[in-house]
Structures are given as structure tokens and as C-alpha cells.
């Protein structure tokens, strides 16, 4: 086959693949928005390799639309340009692929260094975009020369890098929010949304039985977290809440409670979303009875995508007495503890995970990492003024 024809077909194929990937990503984004913790995509592999965590973050939207929607539009235009033989169309194709490469580089940097999570679908799209840029560059070089190709290729890359940095700076997690005025000025939409959330006084009441908590009882802000060990959104919330506690020692108390999305111990559900969640919760309670709840909690979240667990083996790895652990599981005591948490959750309207009560204020779903700091400041201000 003639090299030029092979080059053209390669460009068309990559444009089509890029469009398809954007449409798949857009569907995942829509399902996450519609179903929250009840939806888990196929590329949700672990806490580190997790499309859902990336696509459910603030960085997944641009000017109110999913980035994937903009990507689908760009690849549709690129596909149309690839079918044209005019020199202007070829140069326009390189300009657009150059812009896409630059913006993809920004998104990849955010995914790896800010969210600390890899999105497989997004990574595939980055590779397709880079490949398309190389082929478009070669096509322009054939038709207009190397100098024109360099100018048409590198200029949009630089512009896209600058635009990407500017457009994501407002949601960067390292922006310091120190007081209520900062929250109001930098996160006005969140401030209005959060202030309108209902406050449930009963959320602060503990059911009888074990209480798993981090932070001092006298902390000005208490976060009661209803969670599910098989829930990827809960795994993300766990990471962000632990970072909040570490960054704000003495200011936050975190209380963990169970709400497994599994009908075998949760009668409030119509169907099981995570069929192994009850067993995991009961195993964690038995580990807690032996003084290792939080260690077992971390093990379960770090391995949340495993379909089956050898809980006795995990308990042994944590140094727990095997006989006592097995005896606890057989006794049914841990099932009663989980049932108490589920009943407490139902009494305050919990229906999904994670559900957080921040000083009683009901937050359904995980917040973006930077917004926990903002919520903490709002609550401390409310406590200081006796509201």
C-alpha cells in the first residue's frame, strides 16, 4: 500500500478510536452523575487504577460540560478534517491535535500528581491523541515542509498547556483556604450548596456497642461516616478524610459506621449492590473486637476490588489470634453490631454510601478533596458562633 494512503488510513482510524473512547468516558461520567455510589465502571480496578475517581472529580468538567463532551466534539471535527485532502484541512488537523496533546498533558499530570489515580480509559485516549499528533505532523511535513509542520504543531501545544493550567488552577487542591472569607470568595457555589444542606441532630447519637473513631472527642467538628468496604467512592472518601485528620490534628473527630449495600445484612435495600459487603463489615468488627479495627479497615479498602477475601488469612497477617477471630465470626456478635449501624443509618435517612454527617449536616456522596477543608471551616465558624 502507498505510504501516503497508509498514513491517511491511520489518521482516520485513530480519530474514530478517539471519538469512541470519548463517548465511552462520557457514558461513565453520566452514570456516575446519575447513580453515584451505586455505579461502578469496568475500569474501576483499585484505589490507584480507577476511572470513576477521576471522572467524578472536579477536573472532569470544563465550563459546565464534561471534558469528554469537548473531546468527542474535537475528535468529530478531526475525523471530518482527516477525510479532506486540502492543505488547509491538514494544517487545521495538526493544530487541533496539537491543542489536544497539550491539554491531555495537563489532565494526565493532574491525574497522576493531584488525584494520585490512573484512569485507564483516559490514558488510552492520551496515547491515541499523541499518536494522532505524530501522524498529522508527518502529513503536514509531506505536504508543506518541516518548518510549517513544526509551527503548526508546537504552537497549539504550548497554548493548550497554558490554557489547561489556567482552567484547572481554580480547582487545584493546593490552594490554601484559611477562613470563612476564603470559602465564600473561592468556593461560592459550594458555600451556598453546603449551607442549604439539612442538619440532622440525631446523627451525632451513637448506637450502643463499639464506636470506631479517630480524633479527640472534644474536637469542634465530628464527621460520622456511613460506609461500605466494597464502595469505590467510600475508598476515595476514606483517603481524603484521613488526610484531613492528619492536616488538622485536634480539630476533627471521624466516626465510622457500617451501611453495607448488601441485602444479607441490610434490609433497607431492594437489591444488593455489593454482595460481599456484609461479610467484610462483620470481619472488620471481629478484628475490632481484637483491637485491630482500623488496620483491618485499611486492608479492606486497599483491596476493595477483590471479588473474594480470605479474612482469616488477612487477620493472621495483621497478627490477630486466629481462633478468637474465627470464634467471633461464628458467634454472630459482629452481625448484631452491623445491624445496629444499619438501623441507625435508616433512622437518619441514609440510602447510599458514602453518606457523611458533618456536625449533623447531611452530605450524600464523597466531596472533592479540597472541599472537606472548606466544610471544616464552615462548621468551625458555626460552632464558634453557637449556631
347 assigned to some structural domain: yes
Q: Within a domain: residue 177?
A: no
Residue with the bigger pLDDT between 201 and 372: it is 372
| pLDDT at site 163 | 87
Q: Do 96 and 210 belong to one domain?
A: no
Question: Is the pLDDT confidence value at 305 over 70?
Answer: no
Is 283 within 8 Å of 329 (Cβ atoms)? yes
How large is the average pLDDT for residues 15-28? Answer: 94
Range of the domain at 374: 183-384
CB 254 within 8 A of CB 245: yes
Q: How confident is the model at residue 59 (pLDDT cuts 50, 70, 90)?
A: confident
The span from the CA of 254 to the CA of 195, in Å, is: 21
Is residue 314 in some structural domain? Answer: yes
Provide, for the chain, the percentages of residues in helix, strand and coil under a 3-state DSSP scheme, each rounded to the nearest 5.
Answer: 65, 10, 30
Q: What is the CATH number of the domain that holds 36?
A: 1.20.1440.130
Quick one: which of 300, 302, 305 has its CA closest to 315?
Answer: 300
Query: What percent of the chain stands above pLDDT 70?
Result: 91
- 316 neighbors 322 (Cβ within 8 angstroms): yes
Q: Which three cell numbers stand for residue 278?
A: 456484609
Residues 79 and 134 in one domain: yes
Per-residue pLDDT, 387: 52
pLDDT band at 207 (very low <50, low <70, confident <90, very high): low
157 and 199 in one domain? Answer: no
Cell of 196: 442549604
CATH number for the domain harbouring residue 323? 3.40.30.10
| pLDDT range class, residue 173, cuts 50, 70, 90 | very low
Q: Assess whether 259 and 378 both reside in one domain.
A: yes
176 inside domain: no
SS3 281: helix
Contacts (Cβ under 8 Å, ≥6 apart) of 97 = 78, 129, 132, 133, 136, 153
Residues in the chain, how many?
387
Number of domains observed in the structure of the chain: 2
Question: Do the domain assignments include residue 305?
Answer: yes
Complete DSSP assignment for 271-314:
S-SSTTHHHHHHHHHHHHHTT-HHHHHHHHHHTTT-S---HHHH
Whether 380 shows a pLDDT value over 80: the answer reads yes
The whole-number average pLDDT for the span 354-378 is 91
How many whole angstroms separate alpha carbon 286 and alpha carbon 18?
48
Please give the pLDDT value at position 370. 80
314-363 pLDDT, tens digit each: 898 899 998 999 999 999 999 999 999 999 999 999 999 999 999 999 99
Q: Specify whether 146 is located in the same domain as 194.
A: no
- For 292-311, what is the mean pLDDT? 83
Give the mean model confidence (pLDDT) for residues 288-298.
95
Give the pLDDT confidence score for residue 57 in this predicted structure: 79
Q: How many CB atoms lie within 10 A of CB 246?
A: 10
CA atoms within 13 A on the CB side of 316: 8
Task: Give the residue from 119, 141, 171 where a domain finishes.
Answer: 171
Q: Are residues 372 and 349 in the same domain?
A: yes
Average pLDDT over residues 294-299: 94
Mean predicted lDDT score pLDDT of the chain: 87
> Which residues does 254 contact at the CB level (< 8 Å), separation at least 6?
213, 214, 215, 222, 223, 225, 241, 245
Beta-carbon contacts of residue 350 (< 8 Å; ≥ 6 apart): 226, 259
Determine, yes or no, domain membership for 272: yes
What is the mean pLDDT of the segment spanning 128-144?
91
Range in 30-34, 241-245, 356-360 the model is least confident about: 30-34
Residues 257 and 367 in one domain: yes
Q: Reduced to 3 states, what is the DSSP secondary structure of residue 42? A: coil
**Residues 199, 161 share a domain:** no
Quick one: which H or E segment has residue 359?
none
How do residues 85-108 score in pLDDT, each as one tens digit? 788 898 899 999 999 999 999 999
207 and 330 together in one domain:
yes
pLDDT band at 206 (very low <50, low <70, confident <90, very high): low
Q: How confident is the model at residue 153 (pLDDT cuts 50, 70, 90)?
A: confident
pLDDT digit string, tens, across residues 251-292:
999 999 999 999 999 999 999 988 889 999 999 999 999 999
Q: Answer whether residue 249 shows pLDDT above 60.
A: yes
Domain limit, last residue, from 145, 171, 197: 171
What's the pLDDT at 27? 92
Tell me, yes or no, whether 85 and 199 share the same domain. Answer: no
Closest CA to 140 of 130, 129, 151: 151
Are the beta carbons of 271 and 243 closer than 8 angstroms? no
Q: How far is CA 384 from CA 167, 220, 231, in A?
A: 35, 9, 35
323 and 242 in a common domain: yes
The grid coordinates listed for 188 are 461560592
For residue 47, the model assigns a pLDDT of 67
Task: Give a yes or no: residue 116 inside a domain.
Answer: yes
Structural domain ending residue among the three candidates 112, 142, 171: 171
Please give the span between the terminal C-alpha atoms of the chain, in angstroms, as a whole number: 76
Residues 213 and 243 in one domain: yes
Residue 188 located in a structural domain: yes
Least confident of 39-53, 172-186, 259-273, 327-341: 172-186
Amino acid at each position: 500500500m502507498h505510504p501516503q494512503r497508509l498514513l491517511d488510513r491511520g489518521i482516520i482510524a485513530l480519530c474514530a478510536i478517539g471519538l469512541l473512547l470519548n463517548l465511552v468516558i462520557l457514558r461513565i461520567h453520566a452514570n456516575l452523575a446519575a447513580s453515584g455510589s451505586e455505579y461502578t465502571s469496568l475500569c474501576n480496578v483499585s484505589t490507584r487504577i480507577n476511572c470513576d475517581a477521576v471522572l467524578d472529580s472536579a477536573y472532569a468538567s470544563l465550563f459546565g460540560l464534561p471534558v469528554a463532551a469537548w473531546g468527542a466534539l474535537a475528535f468529530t471535527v478531526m475525523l471530518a478534517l482527516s477525510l479532506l485532502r486540502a492543505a488547509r484541512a491538514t494544517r487545521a488537523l495538526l493544530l487541533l491535535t496539537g491543542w489536544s496533546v497539550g491539554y491531555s498533558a495537563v489532565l494526565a499530570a493532574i491525574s497522576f500528581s493531584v488525584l494520585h489515580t490512573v484512569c485507564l480509559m483516559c490514558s488510552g485516549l492520551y496515547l491515541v491523541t499523541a499518536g494522532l499528533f505524530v501522524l498529522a505532523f508527518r502529513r503536514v511535513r509531506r505536504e508543506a515542509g518541516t518548518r510549517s509542520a513544526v509551527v503548526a504543531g508546537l504552537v497549539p501545544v504550548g497554548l493548550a498547556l497554558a490554557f489547561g493550567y489556567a482552567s484547572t488552577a481554580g480547582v487545584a487542591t493546593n490552594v490554601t483556604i484559611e477562613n470563612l472569607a476564603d470559602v465564600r470568595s473561592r468556593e461560592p457555589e459550594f458555600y451556598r450548596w453546603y449551607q442549604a444542606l439539612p442538619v440532622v441532630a440525631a446523627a451525632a447519637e451513637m448506637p450502643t456497642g463499639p464506636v470506631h473513631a479517630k480524633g479527640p472527642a472534644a474536637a469542634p467538628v465530628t464527621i460520622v461516616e456511613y460506609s461500605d468496604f466494597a464502595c469505590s467512592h467510600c475508598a476515595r472518601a476514606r483517603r481524603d478524610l484521613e488526610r484531613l485528620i492528619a492536616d488538622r490534628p485536634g480539630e476533627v473527630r471521624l466516626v465510622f459506621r457500617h451501611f453495607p449495600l448488601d441485602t444479607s445484612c441490610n434490609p433497607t435495600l431492594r437489591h444488593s449492590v455489593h454482595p460481599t459487603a456484609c461479610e467484610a463489615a462483620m470481619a472488620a468488627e471481629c478484628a475490632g473486637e481484637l483491637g485491630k479495627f482500623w488496620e483491618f479497615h485499611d486492608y479492606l479498602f486497599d483491596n476493595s476490588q477483590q471479588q473474594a477475601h480470605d479474612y482469616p488469612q488477612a487477620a493472621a497477617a495483621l497478627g490477630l489470634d486466629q481462633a478468637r477471630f474465627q470464634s467471633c465470626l461464628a458467634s454472630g456478635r459482629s452481625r448484631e453490631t452491623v445491624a445496629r449501624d444499619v438501623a441507625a443509618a435508616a433512622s437518619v435517612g441514609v440510602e447510599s454510601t458514602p453518606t457523611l454527617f458533618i456536625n449533623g449536616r447531611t452530605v450524600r456522596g464523597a466531596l472533592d478533596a479540597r472541599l472537606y477543608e472548606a466544610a471544616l471551616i464552615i462548621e468551625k465558624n458555626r460552632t464558634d458562633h453557637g449556631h
